[in-house]
Structure 1
Amino acid sequence: MKKHVLADISLLIVTIIWGSTFVLCKIALQSMETFSFLAVRFFIASAILALIFWKNLSRLDKNTLKNGLIIGLIMFFAFATQTLGIYYTTPSKAGFITGFTVLLVPLISTLLFKKPPRKESLIGIVFAITGIVFLTMGSGGELSVSTGDIIVFVSTFGYALQIIAISHYSTFSDSINLSIIQIGVVAVLSAVFALIFENPQIPTGAPVWTSILLTAVLATAVAFTIQNTMQKHTTPTRAALIYLGEPVFSAMFSYMILGEVLSPKGVFGCALIFFGMIVSEVKMASLFKKPSKASGRFKKAS
């Protein structure tokens, strides 16, 4: 199997895992505050990776350390704002809003690297964003925006920068060590903010610990290691299009666990999102070509 195909499949699995985290975070946030939850989640994830890959970590170089710190800072901003926003809105709606990341990735890439996205990618993005609009519509066709929705929207800028940063830095950094460092940075910063702004408490109860362990092990330790290892074999725009399935899976898990039901407009929105992903895959034969060595690293941002 070619690397770019394996990368796409791997990132889709990661997207499914991340789709479940909106519900899991909502459950945990009923008993924990935002930064306390993130601190516990990311400390567990970083400890697991450090224990498993301690030999690899002993070979950490300054370049990977620097790159991991940069991505970690971006990740902290994205996760802190998104998790805080989830507390004030529904998991499914938070997932839908996070989908706007797909629009921001090619736009930010264009600003940073002065190279516009391919027109085929834009076609897929148009369908996808249209789908998100339908997903966020109320029963009367209106768009209902809450404080939580705005905070989650702010987080999409962080996630867009994270996707771009990982696509760039993972090409010349050790993927495992990069994951450990960036996750560790989020853990430390979350703990600092928890001590300053919150009243940290040890979480109690099976539902809370189940949510913490699932998000720490699967959605953090496993998912980010896969992302750092595989995303280098595709482009930021393609990765963002795959990640756009996250709100759809968020809605599915919200229905199965919390009983949230999508409206007919929401179902139609899901269909548009998947159609946009299919269009971007089937009709973009050029995107399946691995960038040539002469093209340079920055062309991966197209």
Structure 2
Amino acid sequence: MREKVVNWILFIVLSLIWGSSFLLMKIGLQALSAYQVPALRILSAGIVLTPFAAKAFAQIPKAKLGVVILSGLLGSFFPAFLFCIAETQLSSALTGMLNSLTPLCAVLIGVFFFQQIPQRQKIIGIVVGLVGLYFLVAPNGRLDLGNIYYVLLVLLATVFYAVNVNIVSRHMHGIASINIAAIAFVFLIIPCVIILAVTGYFAQPFTSTKVIGSTAAACVLGMVGTAFASILFYRLVKRAGALFAAMVTYGIPFIAVAWGYYYGESISIFQVGCLGVILCGVYISNK
């Protein structure tokens, strides 16, 4: 019982953090480009975790270093850029909702590439959750996704997330979560600095309140939404498995709606009902 309680606490905390991250991306994009925001995000995460890198490098088996770095690329680096580029055309709420496709991708990738056999109830739960998600995005039964190119960027990010949860679940047992995160993000510091330099970030007018606000949002996103959240996520994957961890993305629309309500967006009873359906899918899959 205590194990399940801890797993659900991690689930809720991660949902809160990552559900808020899409709004922080939007704030970051007010004055910075879709390449500068994710680069700052990953850079700040790497700086925060630098003090742990030496110990992590000594403790992680050398044969596992490549897998850890790959996890950082698939689980954080590439998705961070894909989401920010998508949010130049899509709303933060819609982007967060589309992110809920990750559990389905996690099951499919686990079946086709990691020889996993999902239980029937888990598949049913994911389908129920996706039905709720569909009507949440398309309340009139018509899916209006705007520019399909940007939607596909989000879907590609969910595929990367799904591959990552399977990699962590299969290959990283016995490695401390802090060590995984430290190596993964410290390795990405130099590429992020290069991207910031090439895109002209260091020439920004740092006396501008908009630039300062966007920079602060990107850094908070990195320190909390990436560094801290990644440690919790790696821990959840190893405790509860890839499918349960991937289903954190089902909690994100709840937070997106809450932020929308806070900022004055209208929230209908129908939307609340759809969120209830999604929650039912989470329950069925983890019953």
The answer on 1:259 being equivalent to 2:260 is no
The Cα of 1:177 is off from its aligned counterpart by 1.9
Q: How does 1:76-115 map to 2 (within 5 A)?
A: 76-115=77-116
The residue aligned with 1:177 is: 179
The residue aligned with 2:47 is: 47
The Cα of 1:22 is off from its aligned counterpart by 0.5
The Cα of 1:268 is off from its aligned counterpart by 2.2
Separation (CA, whole Å) in 2 of partners of 1:97 and 1:175 = 27
Instruction: Determine which of 238, 246, 254 is the counterpart of 2:252.
Output: 246
Separation (CA, whole Å) in 2 of partners of 1:6 and 1:98 = 24
The residue aligned with 1:15 is: 15
The residue aligned with 1:150 is: 152
Separation (CA, whole Å) in 1 of partners of 2:108 and 2:178 = 29
- Amino acid in the other structure paired with 1:110: V
Where in structure 2 are there 5+ consecutive unaligned residues? none
So what's the TM-score if we normalise by structure 1? 0.83
Separation (CA, whole Å) in 2 of partners of 1:129 and 1:40 = 32
Separation (CA, whole Å) in 2 of partners of 1:241 and 1:141 = 24
Residues 57, 183 of structure 2: 8 Å contact kept = no
Separation (CA, whole Å) in 2 of partners of 1:85 and 1:30 = 14
Q: Assess, with a 3 A threshold, how the Cα gap between structure 1 residues 106 and 21 changes in structure 2: closer, same or farther.
A: same
The residue aligned with 1:228 is: 234
Q: How does 1:275-290 map to 2 (within 5 A)?
A: 275-281=280-286, 284=287
Separation (CA, whole Å) in 1 of partners of 2:269 and 2:151 = 21
Residues 78, 157 of structure 2: 8 Å contact kept = yes
Instruction: Determine which of 218, 221, 240 is the counterpart of 1:212.
Output: 218
- Amino acid in the other structure paired with 1:31: A
* CA deviation string 1:63-89 (max 9, x = no partner): 342222111221322221112112211
The answer on 1:268 being equivalent to 2:273 is yes
Separation (CA, whole Å) in 2 of partners of 1:134 and 1:36 = 34
The Cα of 1:4 is off from its aligned counterpart by 4.8
Separation (CA, whole Å) in 2 of partners of 1:50 and 1:274 = 37
Q: Assess, with a 3 A threshold, how the Cα gap between structure 1 residues 195 and 168 changes in structure 2: closer, same or farther.
A: farther
Count of residues in correspondence between the two structures:
278
Where in structure 1 are there 5+ consecutive unaligned residues? 285-302
Separation (CA, whole Å) in 2 of partners of 1:209 and 1:254 = 22
- CA RMSD after TM alignment: 2.3
Residues 92, 247 of structure 1: 8 Å contact kept = yes
- Amino acid in the other structure paired with 2:161: Y
Q: Assess, with a 3 A threshold, how the Cα gap between structure 1 residues 113 and 58 changes in structure 2: closer, same or farther.
A: closer
The Cα of 1:227 is off from its aligned counterpart by 1.4
Q: Assess, with a 3 A threshold, how the Cα gap between structure 1 residues 2 and 27 changes in structure 2: closer, same or farther.
A: same
Residues 28, 37 of structure 1: 8 Å contact kept = yes
SS in 1 for 2:58: coil
Q: Assess, with a 3 A threshold, how the Cα gap between structure 1 residues 64 and 261 changes in structure 2: closer, same or farther.
A: farther
